Chains A and B, each alone.
Chain A
Amino acid sequence: MKPPSKTLERLAPWIAVAALVMIWEATVRLFDVPSFIFPSALETLQALITYAGPIGRHSWQTFWTTLIGFGLGVAVGLVLGLIIGSSRFLYNACYPLLVGFNAIPKVAFVPILVVWFGIGSVPAILTAFLICFFPIVVNVATGLATLEPEMEDVLRVLGARRLDVLLKVGLPRSLPYFFASLKIAITLAFVGTVVSETVASNQGIGYLMMSAGSQMRMGLVFAGLIVISAMAMVMYECFSWLEKRMTGWAHRGR
């Protein structure tokens, strides 16, 4: 079989999206599904255009709360990862704790956060933070903990301090892990924000979908879904690009 041409390869994701939309539209029409159960692609598009103003306002709310939560997650995740990753003792001590914490559904925190901070942006930011810092910690810690012992010997025999080894070898070495985790963390941060908004907010895409759903305006609900996934995708691509820029040496030969 001939390998697909470069242009076709580049277009492939768009073709997949178009195909999915077509199947969606066709299925809804074929089985004549009422729009308050499952709106067609066209109705969703109409809702997107009609309510562009409110959707834009609520998306912006979701977007900036997510970014703040994500920023917190990166800062805390990086520091925690550095601390845990540079000491075997701390690594062993804290790892089970982190895994246990990560297993808690973050939606369970929302009521607690509401009691502490009231409804609104703060619980959304904190939920986004809580859900997204874990992969960053794990990746940074793993990047540091898997440092070759020979490399450490080479430097230690020269009188290198722990900080030297960390700065010269450990940190640069864990950067690819760090950037890889950012891609995962940003999409998770969106999940956190929206979850919190559906439960405890009167702003944001999550709230918009919730209230539209309660009025059976499913076109608007689906429009909300599409906006969230579009935002997450764009951010993912941004960090993917950043990763390639910053750690090109780890993606050799491509």
Chain B
Amino acid sequence: MASAFVDFEAVALSYDGQDNAIEGIDLSIAEGEFVAFVGPSGCGKSTFMKLCTGLHAPTTGRVRVDGEPVNGPLKITGMAFQNANLLPWRTVLDNVLLPLEIVEPYRRQFRRRREEFAGWARALLNTVGLADYADKYPWQLSGGMQQRASICRALIHRPRLLMLDEPFGALDAFTREELWCVLRDLWQAQRFTVVLVTHDLREAAFLADTVYVMSARPGRVIEKREIALPRPRSIESTYEKTFIDLVHALRSRIGDVRES
């Protein structure tokens, strides 16, 4: 395997100085890889995200991204959450542009290159099927559309690492599958590295190259499973036996964790 893009070495984090939220995390993610973290609730998946993006420093161990030790927020990251968190006073387009008003070097160029940036945003919105909604306000959009816009906002500054924290958790089943495909196509086209935290095993198996199963608190990685299914994957393929068996195997691992 090529040198790791994201590298965790014996990482543990404790918020209160007593119990570890997660511990003993050793893993490496290659550039362009799509990994998913699944596990029971409270297993420290979101903590993992904070470590990865440099929003939190580990209590022990080392986190390295792109060969450099992480100390402070990582600007090459884009983030999206279960809640779309769009700002209601900005249009969809302006919401998507928000990161460019913050992150360097775009921040300095924002006034000068606004038209160009708006073009990027419109192109991105177009790829997720929101071309006609760029000038609408977030509350005029359905939940699924808001989530698409939220993903666009996470991608506008062309991050090399995309962190997704249960981004489809609040959507209905059909919308969710639609968005899986949107994400799959975006990833296939741009090949950024994705870390997806989810409760949904089908989602993890459908999208990821590698699925990590985490234990209950304190969170530890108890299984790493490569998903060898051929790409591009279709929603149809999730009803085939190989896929169902895979999800079943993951499910029984989670079952073990919950009982222990």
Contacts and interface: CB of A to CB of B under 8 A. Distances in A.
Contact of A159 (B87, B89, B104, B139): B104
A172 interface: yes
Nearest to B103: A158
B101 A157 contact: no
A238 interface: no
Range class of the A interface residue count: 20 to 34
Contacts of B165: 150
Nearest to B140: A252
Contacts of B80: 154
Interface string A145-166: 0001011011111111000100
Contact of A157 (B54, B87, B104): B54
Interface string B152-176: 0110010000000100000000000
Nearest to A154: B79
A249 B80 CA distance: 23
A150 B102 contact: no
B237 to A, nearest CB: 32
A156 B55 contact: yes
Nearest to B84: A150
A153 B89 contact: no
A247 B99 CA distance: 23
B167 to A, nearest CB: 11
B77 A148 contact: no
Range class of the B interface residue count: 20 to 34
B88 interface: yes
Contacts of B249: none
B146 interface: no
A85 B65 CA distance: 34
Given A158-B99, A159-B102, A249 B88 contact: yes
Contact of B102 (A168, A249, A250): A168
Contacts of B53: 153, 157
A238 B139 CA distance: 27
Interface in B80-99: 80-81, 83, 85, 87-89, 98-99
The 4 A-B pairs with the shortest beta carbon distances in the complex, nearest first, are: A158-B103, A150-B81, A158-B102, A249-B89
Interface of B: 50, 53-55, 73-75, 77, 79-81, 83, 85, 87-89, 98-99, 101-104, 137, 139, 153-154, 157, 165
Interface of A: 148, 150-151, 153-160, 164, 168-169, 172-173, 247, 249-250, 252
Given A154-B154, A159-B103, A249-B137, 4 more contacts: A150-B83, A150-B165, A154-B85, A169-B87
